[in-house]
Amino acid sequence: MIKKLFLITFILFIVSVNNAFGHTGLESSSPQDGEVITAGPNDIKMTFETKVEQGSTFEVTNANGDSISIENITLSNNQMTGRLSNDLANGAYKVNWKIIGADGHPIEGQFSFSVNAPTTVDPTEENEDSGQKSTEKNKDDSDSLNEEEVQTGQEQTKPKTNWIPSLIGILIIAVIGSFLWIMRKGK
């Protein structure tokens, strides 16, 4: 009888732990996290694993932390889209989003992307010296962009917390098992 009660309690505990950690997050985005795009996007689109409720928003910032103007944020079921006011210059950008999920709990996160659009050379400056300077400048720009991407990518790496419910379950099983072993040994 005690074994059955223990088994039922254990199953109910595991099910309730998984529900407690059931908050959802970002499923996909356009541009994607870490993506290097060759032309600035007109809008930022995010798809979430839950319905997005009113009050959800996001902000786009450049590498200096300056906020980029967003004209209109629209919510449709599990998607949030915002139209950018201006074209984005070359560089790294971070999107900080905050949504209210279907269960009413706030969820937030971030992702980053970079713009590396080809630069046009002024036709009046086509002598050999300016061509070399332009090439050197573009190389320096791409090197600094790659360094920023590496730093941004390292900052964005968040540990997954899916192992927490399993760890809690294992610890509880160990405690209960130890308790039962001690009780049997005492008889």
pLDDT in tens, 17-27: 544 455 568 88
Q: Are 111 and 155 a contacting pair, CB within 8 Å?
A: no
Q: Are 53 and 99 a contacting pair, CB within 8 Å?
A: yes
Q: Are 52 and 77 a contacting pair, CB within 8 Å?
A: yes
Q: Are 98 and 114 a contacting pair, CB within 8 Å?
A: no
> Strands across the sheet with 79-84, in order?
26-30, 43-48, 79-84, 70-76
Query: Cα angle vertex 104, ends 102, 108, to 5°?
Result: 90
pTM for the whole structure: 0.54
Give the span between the Cα atoms of 168 and 13, in whole angstroms: 10
pLDDT in tens, 47-99: 988 888 888 889 999 889 888 888 888 888 888 898 988 888 888 999 999 88
Give the span between the Cα atoms of 37 and 44, in whole angstroms: 13
Q: How far is CA 2 from CA 6, 9, 60, 175, in A?
A: 6, 10, 56, 16
Q: How far is CA 169 from CA 14, 41, 176, in A?
A: 7, 45, 11
Which CATH number applies to 24-120+131-158: 2.60.40.1220, 3.60.21.10, 3.30.420.40, 3.40.50.300?
2.60.40.1220
Which pLDDT does position 5 carry in this prediction?
A: 67
| 100 or 148, higher pLDDT | 100
